[in-house]
Structure 1
């Protein structure tokens, strides 16, 4: 492995997961993961961490505009919401009945 490359670690988040923000300006909000940016350890969550983006004038939008857009949030500030209880939970991995490694909720013990 080259000096500038980071070892690829397994992350507890996947696109489509419902997550709760546990730290930062958006603390307490929940939303669905739209994208996971693996090289920066960040995730984009629907309706969370909104930033104001100024757009330059162009052919489609001659006036330019200001719009609110979701920005990435570090994955350490997110926790997956347990589908059974609806609370934020830590995630583990264990073998299911078919012998495949699968994520599970540490609170309820159910597979996600």
Structure 2
């Protein structure tokens, strides 16, 4: 086997990214399954995508940090909105998430 195949400069950042994703997504996934709200992650991702579209319409560069901030702000606003609707209409939360996802 070629020793150059296991280049630490490539493998170490990928390993660290994998550990970070696992550390954040496992607790989130457990919370989603415990609450029975399965599609909330997809709805939040769609809302973040809308934030990117709005940033594009406002003229921000696609590779710029402003687009990432817009996506993060939209995702946080969507999460707050869905948390608020869960408190008001808990019996229709899954349907509300589905509507947000489709919109």
Q: Do these two structures clear the TM 0.5 threshold for a shared fold by scoring above it?
A: no
Higher RCO, 1 vs 2 (CA within 8 Å, ≥6 residues apart) = 2
Q: TM-score, normalised by structure 1?
A: 0.29
In terms of fraction of residues, the more helix-rich structure is: 2
Q: TM-score, normalised by structure 2?
A: 0.31
In terms of fraction of residues, the more strand-rich structure is: 1
